[in-house]
Amino acid sequence: MNRLALVREMNGVAAMPGVETSVHGVAAVCDPLGALFLPDAGVLVVSDLHLEKGAAFARRGMMLPPYDTLATLTVLSAVITRYNPTLVVSLGDNFHDRVGSAHLPETFRTLISDMARGREWIWINGNHDPDGTVDLPGSSADELHYAGLAFRHEPRSGLQAGEIAGHLHPSATVRRREKSVRRPCFATDGARLLMPAFGVMSGGLDLRHKAMKGLFDHASLIAHLLGRDRIYSVRFGNLVG
């Protein structure tokens, strides 16, 4: 699934309804483009943008197409336009390495500044970018407690009520028409929620992977898979192992 292509094909920013859920009693909307919106608080959450990933690989001598940052920011602009949040929270690994923010081309800084105008912006520090951002709107923090929820990059072990986290890039697999289909997903048991990676060049980790062990009550766990033009909600027990 190409989220950038989906943005280009949208007839209007309200054309793709998300799926309503709740996290620790807080209403939330899972958007097919990979963002989470908390309507009562006016908060838009994205995670693992991994901006400048292509540039980070180039610095290490591995040449990748240098279009990932523009593509990711284009999708981000679409969801900000759709929801017009008062606060944007980016849950860490905002950049693919420690120097990505400092080396960000001015064109992309301008795009981010335009998106941030008139709203607050919090950059949560991640394991790829623990030092925060350089010369970008908003502020950096290791975690944020807001609207009755805890926003952080890496999920804490055990069942953590009210946590919204990234880092693990959850994905899930379903069988459809005799074929297995794997998609990034929001994962929630109603108590905590893990975000899919928003960056267009980011992969995923299956919900049955050992890194996910102990994070959810599997009896209540639902994977909200990012589909072609909608969210597909599937109970954990119905996923392909």
CATH 3.40.50 for the 22-238 domain, yes or no: no
Residue 38 — pLDDT band, cuts 50, 70, 90? very high
How many CB atoms lie under 10 A from the CB of residue 227? Answer: 14
pLDDT (average), residues 83-91: 98
Helix, coil or strand: residue 225: strand
Q: Which two tokens stand for residue 200?
A: 């267009």
Residues 129-172 have pLDDT tens digits of 889 999 999 999 999 999 999 999 999 999 899 999 999 999 99
Per-domain boundaries in the chain:
22-238
Q: How many residues does the chain have?
A: 241
DSSP string, 126-156: -SS-TT--SS-SSEEESEEEETTEEEESSPP
Q: How far is CA 165 from the centre of its chain?
A: 9
Is residue 100 within 8 A of residue 66, CB to CB? The reply is no
Q: How far apart are CA 213 and CA 207, in angstroms?
A: 9
Q: Which two tokens stand for residue 198?
A: 């928003």
Q: How far apart are CA 2 and CA 47, in angstroms?
A: 17
Residues 47-56 have pLDDT tens digits of 999 898 755 5
